[in-house]
Amino acid sequence: MTKLWEMTGAALAQAIRGKQVSAVEVTQAHLDRADEVNARINAVVDSFHDESLAAARQIDGQIAKGQDPGPLCGVPVTIKVNVDQRGRATTNGLKLQENLIAQDDSPVVANLRNAGAVIVGRTNTPAFSLRWFTHNDLHGQTLNPRDPSITPGGSSGGAGAAVAAGLCAIGHGTDIAGSVRYPAYACGLHGLRPSLGRVPAHNATGGDRFIGAQIMAVSGPLARSIEDIRLSLVAMAAHDPRDPWQTVAPIDQCKFAKRAALSLQPEGIEVDEAVQAALLDAADRLRAEGWTVDQVECPSLQEAARINAILWMAENRFAAGDMFAKEGNADALFVAQQMIADAGEIDLERVMIALKTRVGLIREWEQFLDRYPVLLCPVSGELPFEQQLDVRSEADFARVFRAQLSQRALPTLGLPGLSVATGQVGRTPVGVQLIAGRFREDVLLAAGAAIEKGGPPITVAQPDA
């Protein structure tokens, strides 16, 4: 018999709305699941059972009165600790921010609540949300529930682990260099990085950010089904006047040709045979659903990744200041040093040229995606890495950094990207990435659903005892 914490968000919302089960029962089942397994993986680092159950009772009360709580009617969700949630600390994995209590919900949290979601916990992130691994000195390390020897991804590693282990149906994550897409990949899930401006953002605890984060950082969902990705995107994308960058646009737009480009090794990067096999398999699944798939070279990812490095490191230089030294997290300090070295000397001229170059690059990508509505490419050049690989040595960091090219490139362009789980290689998850034009998440969802249909369903992981 399927347990409540094994069900998708869409199935739970339907069952709660139809009074087949109460929101309180669903919430309690997920809280019990967290009590049972979270200690083994450390995905949820802030829980509040009474508050969660009170929110669930409110959902049940609305249903009893014949009211519609919203599309996420009673669905258990988690929120990443780098986003404001009223009454909770926005730690961003930092001891420095352990007591930084938010007075108001960020737009994405408010939107999830307004859509009927029940928040059942806050999930871990690396210090400064800087890595593709999830470890910090405040909350500790998060383990991958499918295999503790490999990373759960980062920086939304806690969200990925929570969804994979059945602690929630949908996890909230943020992405400035793959932080939604990579945890989804590493944990065997689907994860969406929406277009810039699709999901409103604002953290009152941190104030307004510099231009790099303004044009590259977004919030997005991780889930065990494409249907749940769609459902949560609709909820997250509701209008909020606090974000001047938000563009309210319909999720479903004009019809598109079922034509995909396949790039096995963008710009000749090294890609594992297992990853290439997953891409070829995904292409076959698309063809089985009526898509045309052509193997072609996509526009430059290297140039987009270079711009990401300049803008992101400029952001850290001006926004973080001496916080890295004050926090004293050895992993974050090492990673920051490597990334700063990769970015090179950053001054006003380099930032201005990077912003100018970005416009032409976006133009080139939009023209490419006008010919091919979706690009099928690697999420990473390698299968999910061993835990803590990036901080073992400079050579190991360089290896990780090279493999994550598409993670780093996409935010520069403001385009949406979807990580789609396709199966496993032994115990190790594998998947593919889809990229579409601005605000064409509908294309990603359609292609993602076709790939999902042709493969095994995503099951909840049972963490090692």
Average pLDDT over residues 428-448: 98
pLDDT at 383 > cutoff 90: yes
Model confidence band, residue 142 (pLDDT cutoffs 50, 70, 90): very high
Cβ atoms of 185 and 379 within 8 Å: the answer is yes
- Across-strand partners of 429? 424
Enter the DSSP assignment of 291.
-
Please report the pLDDT score of residue 318 as a whole number. 73
Average pLDDT over residues 132-161: 98
What's the fold here for domain 4-453? Amidase signature (AS) enzymes (3.90.1300)
Task: Of 272, 297, 269, 309, give the one whose Cα is nearest residue 411.
Answer: 309
The helix or strand, by DSSP H or E, that contains position 59, with its residue range, turns out to be helix 49-64
Across all residues in the chain, what is the average pLDDT?
A: 97
Please report the pLDDT score of residue 1 as a whole number. 81
Cα separation, 78 vs 25, whole angstroms: 17
pLDDT at 26 > cutoff 80: yes
Q: What is the pLDDT of residues 36-53, one digit of tens each?
A: 999 999 999 999 999 999
Q: What is the DSSP string of 335-353?
A: HHHHHHHHH----HHHHHH
Cis peptide before 155 (omega within 30 of 0): yes
Model confidence band, residue 170 (pLDDT cutoffs 50, 70, 90): very high
| Alpha-carbon torsion, ordered 100, 216, 75, 55, to 10 deg | 30
Q: What is the pLDDT of residues 304-354, one digit of tens each?
A: 999 999 998 888 777 777 899 999 999 999 999 999 999 999 999 999 999
> To the nearest whole percent, how much of the chain has pLDDT over 90?
97
Average pLDDT over residues 214-227: 98
The token pair at 91 is 């730690």
Model confidence band, residue 465 (pLDDT cutoffs 50, 70, 90): low
Please report the pLDDT score of residue 301 as a whole number. 97
Please report the pLDDT score of residue 316 as a whole number. 77
pTM (2 decimals)? 0.98
First to last CA, the chain: 22
Domain map (residue ranges) of the chain: 4-453
pLDDT at 118 > cutoff 70: yes
Q: What is the pLDDT of residues 270-290, one digit of tens each?
A: 999 999 999 999 999 999 999
Which positions are catalytic? Answer: 80, 155, 179
Cα separation, 413 vs 395, whole angstroms: 28
pLDDT at 461 > cutoff 70: yes
